[in-house]
Amino acid sequence: MNMEKFQLWAQPWWVNLLILIPFATYFAFRRQGQLLNRRQLITIAIFAAAFGFVEAAVVVYLRAAVGLLPGYTGTLTDLRNSSAGYVQATSISQFPPSLLAIEVYREAATMVMLITVTLLTVSKASARWTAFLWLFALWDIAYYAGLWAIVRWPASLTDLDVLFLIPVPWIAQVWFPLLISGLTVLAIAVSNGQPAGSGYR
């Protein structure tokens, strides 16, 4: 099992500012009451879970395409047992330029899809922002859960990962995006359940 030393900071430095999102979300929406109803929350969560698994599958295919995934020609059990030494953050340098370019376009397309689902779900601007954050956070969690289910990666919350490639690679240990996403889900769940105006005295 690959165990990295705990790292507090993500790279580049401004990626660390993402930790403010859950707190800003809570304080921004706690006074507005319920922006999303239960049906919307559940529907978005279902899409996020399915799309997160699709993203995980794409990453598995990319690893196999560039020869970074031993055991993929065997059974799923073979795949899980042979991918323990995979290091996601260093693999980016081993990607052919053509596939790396496609990956950047895929990430951009992913963001378009997430935004489009948000626009289709609700019409009010503040509700759309809430829906987008809810969708993004659950999608991110589902992505890591999907990867672990398929190839048993990440093996540890301290494994390094390439979070995003636009405009430059964002690199952090897995605990970082999971913490932000988990806190964002909690912030929305708590603030969305409060009566309108409950933040005022």
Confidence category of residue 198, pLDDT binned at 50, 70, 90: very low
Confidence category of residue 135, pLDDT binned at 50, 70, 90: very high
Distance separating the N- and C-terminal Cα atoms of the chain:
52
CA torsion, points 181, 196, 43, 54, in degrees to nearest 10? -20
Phi, psi of 24 (to 5 degrees): -65, -40
Nearest residue to 76 (alpha-carbon basis) of 3, 162, 148, 154: 148
Q: Cα(13)–Cα(6) distance, rounded to whole angstroms?
A: 17
Q: What's the mean pLDDT when you consider all of the chain?
A: 88
Question: How confident is the model at residue 106, as a pLDDT?
Answer: 95
% the chain with pLDDT above 70: 90
Confidence category of residue 17, pLDDT binned at 50, 70, 90: very high
pLDDT tens-place string over residues 33-46: 778 999 999 999 99
Q: Cα(121)–Cα(173) distance, rounded to whole angstroms?
A: 32
For the segment 66-82, the average pLDDT, to the nearest whole number, is 81
200 pLDDT above the threshold of 50 = no
Which is higher by pLDDT, 192 or 119? Answer: 119
Which of 95-99, 136-140, 165-169, 184-188 comes out lowest in average pLDDT? Answer: 95-99
Residues 158 and 6: beta-carbon distance below 8 Å: yes
Task: Report which residue type is found at 162.
Answer: V
84 pLDDT above the threshold of 70 = no
69 pLDDT above the threshold of 70 = yes
Residue 150 CB partners (closer than 8 Å, separation 6+): 56, 57, 60, 76, 79, 80
Q: Are strands 160-164 and 170-173 parallel, antiparallel or unpaired?
A: antiparallel
pTM of the model: 0.89
Question: How confident is the model at residue 48, as a pLDDT?
Answer: 98
